[in-house]
Amino acid sequence: MIEMKTVNKNFGKLHVLKDISTKINDGEVVTIIGPSGSGKSTLLRCINLLGEPTTGEIFIDNENITSLSEKQVMKMRSEVGMVFQHFNLFPHKTVLENITYAPIKVRKTAKEQAHKEAKALLEQVGLSDKADVYPSKLSGGQKQRVAIARALAMKPKYLLFDEPTSALDPEMVKEVLEVIQSLADTGITMVIVTHEMAFAERVSSKIIFMDEGTIIEETEPKVFFDSPKSERAKIFLEKVL
């Protein structure tokens, strides 16, 4: 379970997250939506300590991650995977090397075992034939599917996605969403920032709507999309639907 308790985040004078409190239970798929600049990425980055909250506490499985040693942070990050908008693959490593790098380096998985697991993951994301190519030879959709396989290679308990399809050409969005949907069906706990509203409605157990650093609504997808309570959510949905 991920729990945030009155989390605030400032960048200098800019108050970006304002008293964020929420709970994400194991097995949930939570989608965060909201206007650009509302603090979605900042919130996600706090969950795996790519950014540190200015005040407040974050618990992962009842452990306060805002007071961990550096070594514990490394361990925690291996349990909380992240997939970025711009893939962030290592350009000088092959697809297979991208996927096996962290398991070998951080998890100390034996090379042969890591390769075996990576190949199974490549099959899972539909890229069995790409193990030995370099990222530059892949389409955006393929790169993102490799990035997902790479995150899964660490066997995370939680997976965070920050606009995983926003950098993709429209024809590639579907193949990536399908992979994420198939992961949702495995029961892994996921937090997804996305502007794909139909997908959010389909895949989520809960929607968090943010605006100006605050959680405005937090509810089941059907309730949120059919009858948003706040004026701000209504205005947002009118623009994007």
Residues that bind ligand ADP (CB under 6 A): 11, 14, 16, 34, 36-42
First to last CA, the chain: 31
* CA–CA gap between residue 2 and residue 212 (Å, rounded): 22
H or E element, residue 177:
helix 170-184
Cβ at position 15, least distance to Mg ion in Å? 17
Q: Which of residues 17-46 bind Mg ion (CB under 5 A)?
A: 40-41
Strands 80-83 and 63-64, by their bridges, are unpaired
Nearest residue (CB) to ligand ADP, 25 versus 166: 166
Cβ at position 39, least distance to ligand ADP in Å? 4
* CA–CA gap between residue 124 and residue 80 (Å, rounded): 20
**Looking at the DSSP assignment, which residues form a beta bridge with residue 82?**
160
Question: And the tokens for 129?
Answer: 């034939």
CA 44 to chain centre: 7
Cβ at position 231, least distance to ligand ADP in Å? 19
Cβ at position 44, least distance to Mg ion in Å? 8
Nearest residue (CB) to ligand ADP, 13 versus 71: 13
Q: Which does 11 bind (CB under 5 to 8 A by kind): ligand ADP, Mg ion, none?
A: ligand ADP
Residues that bind Mg ion (CB under 5 A): 40-41
